[in-house]
Amino acid sequence: MTQTLLRGRLLSFVRTPQSLTDSESYRYETDGGLLMDKGLIVESGPYSEVKAKAEAGVVEIDHRPHLIMPGFIDMHLHFPQMQVIASYAANLLEWLNTYTFPEECRFVESAHAQRIATHFYDELIRHGTTTAVAYCSVHKTSADAFFAEAMRRNMRMVGGKVMMDRNAPQGLLDTPQMGYDETREIIADWHGKGRNHVAITPRFAITSTPEQMEATQALAREFPDLHIQTHLSENHDEIKFTCELYPDAIDYTDIYARYGLLGDKTLFGHCIHLSEREADAMSEAGAIAVHCPTSNLFLGSGLFPLKALMRRDKPVRIGVATDIGGGSSYSMLRTMDEAYKIQQLLAERLNPLESYYLMTLGNALSLSLADHIGTLDKGTDADVVVLDAAATPAMALKMEVVKTLPEELFLLQTMGDDRAIVETYVAGAAAKGAL
């Protein structure tokens, strides 16, 4: 296999940026080289040095003056909800019952699941996302389609069949035993195959009986290295209903803790309305609160206190995500634009360096996958995005007065979308151009 050498401006992070002037939090090469071979990054640094280490016959691609970064990571979205996006509803529970649950019933059909999987991966690549954490439907067919397509494209993906045995249409219900058995089958069939990671996925406490939560707990004990993903404290009505279903629990977070589901690989979507006790419990367990800004605004769920959770004496680990189809864009750039606005409404500041840290290294750390993704470090996966901050006429006009890297990043975040994605490389191979 021939080596590939990308030339352009390289940007990747080494830790959380503390301010706009915190240049030690990232690595930036104005004329950089990224050498890729056999799906991995072989060398990264100044172009002249990297070029000197390349093999004879290396394929060189000049992306100057564009920005080359680690591929974006999306921590929470719903694969079966591509045709649910942009559905008009008053709130979360109405939206679920009116649009989402009926749509997910269609994923019992393999052909439908396979068709949507193709479109799903196309959209991720088009928007520069190279790893995502997805909920499939309750049907094993949906998980099979999701992971088969991930293998076909050689993408590092996390996903799981949702477990739900109440408070949903009959076509979306399993049983505690079926949820357990099918999840075990999916683990056996897909986990560790290609670049696939299976997540144990109880949808949320509303749709799982105590018996199913016990089955989930059994899976978590048997497979302690797997991610667990679910939802937490998204909407006031959801919280009230959940706590009525589990009256013995102290609060919503305590429900998951009682079933052994509160740990350092647990990904909780939303977490907008946590009490101080809940935030302490999450911090102590190392659990991750996954912020889904476009979804929170679209469904009117609330304003996520990202900065407040980060600066607590007991800080909470944070991820960021699109939450398709409650979310309204596949773009992590659009996602972080909305995240910025939410912090503005809370009288907080989210600087652009932090935003790009969160959607690359930050999310990789929250997934415990930073040894594979989220950086441009030697030996990591060659999952890369190339960005053009002058992708549209309006952006190009603004770029005429942009003087600094943070200003350019903020422009990309504020005005960019899939048009700003020049190319997406998956395991070293150009993927966007192949669509």
Helix, strand, coil % over all residues of the chain, rounded to 5:
45, 25, 35
**Residues facing residue 314 across a β-bridge:** none
Nearest to 423 by CA among 36, 77, 157: 36
- Say how far apart CA 385 and CA 15 lie, in whole Å: 19
Nearest to 282 by CA among 272, 293, 291, 274: 274
What secondary structure letter does DSSP report for 399? Answer: H
Q: In sequence order, which residues have a C-beta less than 8 Å from that of residue 148 and are 6 or more positions away? A: 114, 117
Backbone angles phi, psi at 255, to 5 degrees: -60, -50
Q: Is 72 helix (H, G, I), strand (E, B) or coil?
A: strand
Backbone angles phi, psi at 288, to 5 degrees: -110, 130
Phi-psi region of 15 (alpha: psi -120 to 50; beta: other; left: phi over 0): beta
> How many angstroms separate the Cα of 25 from the Cα of each of 17, 354, 412?
5, 10, 20
Backbone angles phi, psi at 389, to 5 degrees: -80, 0
How long a stretch of residues is the chain?
A: 435
Judge if pTM exceeds 0.75.
yes
- Say how far apart CA 32 and CA 11 lie, in whole Å: 9
- pLDDT the model gives residue 93: 81
Other Cβ atoms less than 10 A from the Cβ of 58: the count is: 16
Nearest to 80 by CA among 162, 174, 190, 199: 162
- pLDDT the model gives residue 131: 98
What secondary structure letter does DSSP report for 263? Answer: S
pLDDT along the chain (435 residues), means of 10: 94 96 97 98 98 96 98 97 91 87 93 97 98 97 98 98 96 96 98 98 97 98 98 96 97 98 98 98 98 96 97 98 96 98 98 98 98 98 98 98 98 98 98 83
Q: At what angle do helices 110-126 and 140-153 cross, to 10 degrees?
A: 40
